[in-house]
Structure 1
Amino acid sequence: MATIKITFDKRASNTTKDNKFMLVLCINHNRKTRYIPFNLHLKENQYDFRTGKITGILNSVRHTKRTQKTFSDVDLWIDEHEGEIRRWDMDRLKSEIEQCFFKKSPSRTILNYGGVYLHRLRMEQRFSTASSYEDALKALIKFRKKLKGQDDTMLIKTLYEVKENGLFPLENFKDLDMEIKSIDYSFLKDFKAYMSNRYKSKNTPAMHLRSLQAIMNDAGKAFEDLKDHRPLSNFKKQSHENAPAPIELSDIHKIRKLELEPDTPIWHNRNYLLFMFNNMGMNFFDVAILKWFQFEDNRIKYFRKKTHYEGDYFSVLQNEESLNIIRHYLKDQKDEDYLFPIIPPNTTPERLHKVNNGKVKIFNKYANKIAALAGISKKITTYTLRDTWTNIGLDMGIDIRKISSGLGHSSVQVTEKHYGKSVTEKILDEINAKITES
């Protein structure tokens, strides 16, 4: 249980030249100690620890009543909230007491709470999401550097020191931190303009703003004083959809027929390409982290990494081409070994998404070499196979609801938003052909 007492802070930094010490409320909780000052410096004989009386200074009676009342109020509050306080850490308890009884505005900075939020994501092993959210905070810090006339082009590897009990802002970024309440609509408009000028991708500003909104919304749920602070609620954060760039089924056949030397990098990447296409345009990350126990009864069973928190489970029957690809890599592996030799075996969960990003670049490089060898003029990336699978399905007249289910979209509307132009073009081409040919 948390306990309190009134005492002197005798550290040199809080001691005056005439040997007066700061009177403080001392809090003990979870084997930690914190001080909250009463803004009074006294000599040792000016405070009676037995009676709690202050003497020998101006307005000593008033100061005595104030300190005694504060002590009594805090002590009663701790007793009444004992069960809840037991689950808090020391910094949370100190902040709540300062806010409630010392009229001190709490410090809710974006980097401090961002560290809390990122730590939670990392505990859930959502390292990719944590990295994306930290990128948004890095962009904010670079903007703050720009405002202060500092060099904002320097690479920021990380904003935090990682410890067992959390993520803590590095010392050299603390002067660039800011209170969440000071992040208002006007600041965000300038921040968005800064990002629009800085980043090539039109989607980056919207993505970073959504990340900041998630952090700030969570802070609003944690702290009453931030509950109604929502400067991003009416802020336009729309993404620009990347237009689908599928290749044709005939192009897939050309890729299949290519004569490539077995067990070379380009040959392996051709296998991954075809496997992705055969599995409903499976995401490259999902292919990379497949394990042998997920291949059972000629089926690949997996949760889509991007949306597995929404329960996107798939069980896909493998065609003969994919079965032949899988059999090639079967070499007495254990159930927990990766199905394909993409991710190094001892890669930690924390590094997994970073390693995958590097492998995606390698795949895209070889995919375009494959396209060139097959005489395909279009660029091929990890997204191409997903778009191609969808486009071929729509061409065949398969119900868009079934296509949407295969893609793992949360609704048909999501599918229509991304592929709506393709669907509309096909319908209009069909109508125009019928009318003009008549």
Structure 2
Amino acid sequence: MELTFKIVLDKRHKKTNETYPLKLRVFQNRAYKERSLNIAISENDWDSNLQMVLSTNDSYTALNSKLTSTKAKVQKLIFLSEDAETLTTPDEIIKRLKNKGQKQGGNIKPSIIQYGKDHIEKLKVSGRIGSAITYSCGINKLKDYAKTDKLTFESVDYRFIENFNTALLKEGIKINSIGNYFRSIRALFNKAIKEGVVEAKYYPFTSFKIKTEKTISRALTSTEISQIFALDLPVRSTIWHHRNLFALSYCLIGINFSDLLTLTKENFIDGRITFRRSKTHKIYSIKIQPKSKDIFDYYFTEFPESSKEFLLPFVKNFNNPITLKKDISQAIKNTNDYLRKLATECKIRKNISTYYARYSWANIARELGYPKDMIAEALGHEYGNKITGIYLDNYSNEIIDKMNDRVISSVF
């Protein structure tokens, strides 16, 4: 008559997203009574022997915490029934567990805050620090507004996000920044629904549309960028070094500064810089033109030790992706500060930043008469639609190289 229990993956009820529900089963002899735990995971994410969710599931920490809590409650109910020396059945255990849950506010529902934190940790482990920071900003804003870290997915309904949006606007936060927060929250909902953590009926973004606003053009004219590159600066001065970074980014078709600062010897292949962009994971191959070669040669000669890790001596690899991300952010901030000083010297009334290298390259290429689809191909964008994007692959490196050579020559 002894009571036992276990948590099982119920393969009798497969969901449309290829997941199965986890259920609590309380046994007595050969009979049992079961109760759904409102958790659904894939078969590959479940260890039936340990009765634990494996780390292959993004939310394994939160889900295992819920399972541990459930096991402790069932064990306590069984002990209490044994101490009372009363005849207790699996049905009574399930009922008591349900009643206890109702007194405490019902079944424990997953927190979007904790779910987000688990996802952020997994991003950090996989080295996607930029994405982790983006999600952290969204989750932190959501937690500040809700004033709790136990905010359930179900609580984040249409009215909630409308009020949240209004509160952010009152804080003076820009529409595009708010859009980034909501895109992170929306992505967590999509992920949670796919994993069976929350039901699709609670998805709040069907009616709520994330807004964006057009940003001010971040491009310099060929005359303006020529002025910046022509300024007579003390060689080896700090401002001179940061202008070199800006010039390299421009010469390498607006390479993102994070990718530029972390180039290694392995990225130099047959006179080209070949790398995978950290943001999109797209592979680029850019010919090293004479101007960029001169700058690289200077740093190889003056800072030979730095090339053991990164080619440029502005950040160091501490084998810690979080520290590296902070160093990259600081280097970009420093460059932006000096770019604004250069703009002031040239009487350019624009709030110049590192992004201007990429936008200016595209703008000047357009001024030179190159078509939008060709410029998009050089920048790694998909022009038009996916079908059009496939045909753009027909542009050879030689054509893009010649275009880049003209864009560079127009300002140097």
TM-score relative to the length of structure 1: 0.66
User: Out of 259, 280, 284, which is 1:307 matched to?
Assistant: 280
2:202 counterpart SS class: coil
Q: Which aligned pairs between 1:364-403 and structure 2 lie closer than 5 A?
A: 364-403=336-375
1:39 CA drift (Å) = 5.4
Residue 287, structure 1, aligned to residue 312, structure 2: no
Once the two structures are superposed, residues 328-357 of structure 1 have per-residue CA deviations (whole angstroms, 9 ceiling, x without a partner) of 011444865111112133262123222222
Q: Percent identity?
A: 25
Once the two structures are superposed, residues 217-252 of structure 1 have per-residue CA deviations (whole angstroms, 9 ceiling, x without a partner) of 111112264233211122110221313232121223
Residue 319, structure 1, aligned to residue 289, structure 2: yes
1:183 CA drift (Å) = 1.0
1:321 CA drift (Å) = 1.0
Residue 29, structure 1, aligned to residue 50, structure 2: yes
Alpha-carbon separation, structure 2, partners of 1:65 and 1:372:
78
Alpha-carbon separation, structure 1, partners of 2:173 and 2:5:
57
Q: 1:307 to 1:225 in 2, by over 3 A?
A: closer
2:73 counterpart SS class: strand
Residue 5, structure 1, aligned to residue 26, structure 2: no
**Do the aligned partners of 1:293 and 1:336 also contact (CA within 8 Å) in 2?**
no
Q: Which aligned pairs between 1:406-425 and structure 2 lie closer than 5 A?
A: 406-412=378-384
**Do the aligned partners of 1:276 and 1:282 also contact (CA within 8 Å) in 2?**
yes
Once the two structures are superposed, residues 14-52 of structure 1 have per-residue CA deviations (whole angstroms, 9 ceiling, x without a partner) of xxxxxxxxxxx9x983699632338578464644xxxxx
Alpha-carbon separation, structure 2, partners of 1:296 and 1:226:
49
Q: What's the counterpart of residue 181 of structure 2?
A: 208
Q: What's the counterpart of residue 123 of structure 2?
A: 121
- Matched residue pairs, number? 320
**Do the aligned partners of 2:335 and 2:354 also contact (CA within 8 Å) in 1?**
yes
- Pair member with larger Rg: 1
Q: Which aligned pairs between 1:325-340 and structure 2 lie closer than 5 A?
A: 325-330=295-300, 331-333=303-305, 337-340=309-312
What amino acid sits opposite 1:382 in the alignment? T
Comparing 238-247 with 263-272, which one deviates more in the overlay? Answer: 238-247
Q: What's the counterpart of residue 143 of structure 2?
A: 141
Alpha-carbon separation, structure 2, partners of 1:68 and 1:204:
49
Q: Which aligned pairs between 1:39-438 and structure 2 lie closer than 5 A?
A: 42=80, 44=82, 46-47=84-85, 54-55=86-87, 63-64=88-89, 66=91, 105-145=107-147, 175-223=148-196, 225-308=198-281, 312-330=282-300, 331-333=303-305, 337-346=309-318, 348-412=320-384
**Do the aligned partners of 2:78 and 2:93 also contact (CA within 8 Å) in 1?**
no
Alpha-carbon separation, structure 2, partners of 1:235 and 1:45:
54
Once the two structures are superposed, residues 126-174 of structure 1 have per-residue CA deviations (whole angstroms, 9 ceiling, x without a partner) of 11111111111111111123xxxxxxxxxxxxxxxxxxxxxxxxxxxxx
What amino acid sits opposite 2:144 in the alignment? K
1:68 CA drift (Å) = 8.6
5+ long unaligned stretches in structure 2: 7-34, 36-47, 53-63, 387-412
Give the aligned CA root-mean-square deviation in angstroms: 3.3
Q: What's the counterpart of residue 392 of structure 2?
A: none
1:300 counterpart SS class: strand
